[in-house]
């Protein structure tokens, strides 16, 4: 760390990781976890974006395509046709079992709820993510599989995912890699460039793009997070090391602080006669 902090911190510093080693380590990690879980099969949602494409490639390398199932779950009123085509293409080239499950009708069924408001973009968008999670866990329960999540380190640290939606998973294979690193890893794994560098799009509402919603570029988000969490740079010193304005640093860290509840177990009252946290034995 000391040598890096004697000079400017750039995106190249962040991207300069041993990708072959990252693939090998992640593949071993997946194999070990699945074995310990006592299952042979996994299921994941495939969106056609870089994160799910990268995770799919890692899963098939670790377990073989026969043990991987993907659910493609568009809301056909919202999801782009290109994303659906890319998802189907990825499922075919990796040779995995795929189910195409439009969630339109499920969304329509919620209209019977008195307080349902289709125009509430955030609440309705998060509902889509939670519907997809329930389908994944239904499949996992039925076929003795585990659910694989596709969130990366950038999304986890700023809370850019739906609590109990795409945040609901048993394993996060790329959770230690920043978005910009995942794009490079995707290329290493043979993901086509048009998918590896496709603009990030959660697709929770029409034309939904991550960077537009956040008002930040992932290159800046990642450099701020890398500087603070990996290199231990004080937030007020990040601008002098990176050239990123402090207003951007502040916004990234605000997103991190506000999403803390997504990264911790729900609070439990501590009674005086039972003042011990839950722990494994």
Whole-number pLDDT of residue 5: 65
Query: Could you tell me the pTM of the whole model?
Result: 0.92
Catalytic residue list contains 236: no
Whole-number pLDDT of residue 190: 95
Q: Within 10 Å of residue 48's Cβ, how many Cβ atoms?
A: 24
Whole-number pLDDT of residue 267: 85
Whole-number pLDDT of residue 141: 97
CA angle, residues 276, 260, 213, in degrees to nearest 5: 160
Whole-number pLDDT of residue 4: 57
Place of tokens 């490639």: 57
Each residue's pLDDT tens digit, 64-83: 999 999 999 999 989 999 99
Beta bridge partners of 42: 68, 146
Q: Within 10 Å of residue 180's Cβ, how many Cβ atoms?
A: 20
Edge to edge, what strands does the sheet with 145-148 contain?
97-100, 68-72, 41-45, 145-148
Residues of the chain with pLDDT under 50: none
Q: Which one of the listed residues 51, 86, 170, 222 is annotated catalytic?
A: 51
CA angle, residues 48, 10, 199, in degrees to nearest 5: 20
Q: Which one of the listed residues 75, 155, 170, 222 is annotated catalytic?
A: 155
Structural domains of the chain in order of their starting residue, each with its CATH number: 18-208 (3.40.50.620)
- Exposed/middle/buried for residue 221 (C-beta within 10 Å: 0-12, 13-18, 19+): buried
Catalytic residue list contains 155: yes
């Amino acid at each position: 760390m000391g040598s890096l902090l004697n000079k400017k911190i750039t995106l190249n510093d962040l991207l300069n990781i041993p990708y072959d080693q990252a693939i090998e380590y992640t593949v071993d990690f997946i194999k070990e976890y699945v074995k310990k879980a006592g299952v042979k099969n996994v299921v994941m949602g495939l969106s056609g974006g870089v994160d799910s494409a990268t995770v799919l490639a890692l899963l098939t390398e670790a377990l073989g395509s026969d043990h991987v199932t993907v659910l493609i779950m568009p809301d056909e009123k919202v999801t782009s046709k290109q994303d659906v085509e890319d998802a189907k293409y990825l499922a075919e080239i990796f040779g995995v079992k795929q189910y195409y499950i439009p969630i339109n009708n499920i969304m329509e069924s919620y209209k019977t709820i008195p307080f349902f408001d289709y125009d509430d973009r955030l609440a309705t968008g998060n509902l889509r993510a939670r519907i997809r999670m329930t389908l994944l866990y239904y499949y996992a329960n039925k076929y003795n599989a585990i659910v694989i999540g596709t969130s990366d380190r950038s999304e986890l640290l700023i809370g850019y995912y739906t609590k109990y939606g795409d945040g609901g998973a048993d394993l996060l294979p790329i959770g230690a890699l920043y978005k910009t690193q995942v794009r490079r890893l995707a290329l290493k794994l043979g993901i086509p460039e048009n998918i590896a560098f496709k603009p990030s799009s959660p697709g929770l509402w029409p034309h939904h793009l991550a960077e537009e919603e956040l008002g930040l570029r992932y290159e800046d988000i990642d450099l701020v997070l890398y500087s603070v969490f990996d290199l231990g740079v004080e937030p007020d010193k990040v601008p002098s090391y990176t050239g990123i304005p402090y207003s951007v640093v502040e916004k990234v860290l605000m997103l991190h602080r506000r999403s803390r509840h997504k990264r911790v177990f729900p609070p439990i009252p501590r009674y005086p006669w039972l003042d011990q946290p839950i722990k494994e034995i």
